[in-house]
Amino acid sequence: MDIAIKYKIISEIIKSNDERVLNEVKSLLNIEDEVDFWQELSADDKKAINEGLEQLEKGQFVSHESVRDEIRRKFNF
């Protein structure tokens, strides 16, 4: 297929607002909708993540370095 035809197809897809046509093209090209991982999380997981983010904002966290140092002291690494 001529490259000019490919560009014309792409151009028409970009300009189109016809959901039916766009869904057909998507189907023909086997393109699946991308799902935001956040929408797949459980309510408990979302709550835990938000709590963790709040703790970070408040400075309530333990640094990687301090955990590493504690493990070295505790287990003589």
Three-state SS string over 4-71 comes to HHHHHHHHHHHHCCCHHHHHHHHHHCCCCCCCCHHHHCCHHHHHHHHHHHHHHHCCCCCCHHHHHHHH
CA distance 72 to 74: 6
Q: Where are the domains of the chain?
A: 1-33, 42-75
pLDDT of residue 23: 94
CA distance 59 to 73: 24
pTM of this prediction?
0.48
43, two tokens: 């309510």
Other CB atoms within 10 A of residue 62 CB: 8
Model pLDDT for residues 1-53, shown as the tens digit of each residue: 899 999 999 999 999 999 999 999 999 999 988 888 998 999 999 999 999 99
User: Model confidence at 59, in pLDDT bands (50, 70, 90)?
Assistant: very high
pLDDT of residue 28: 94
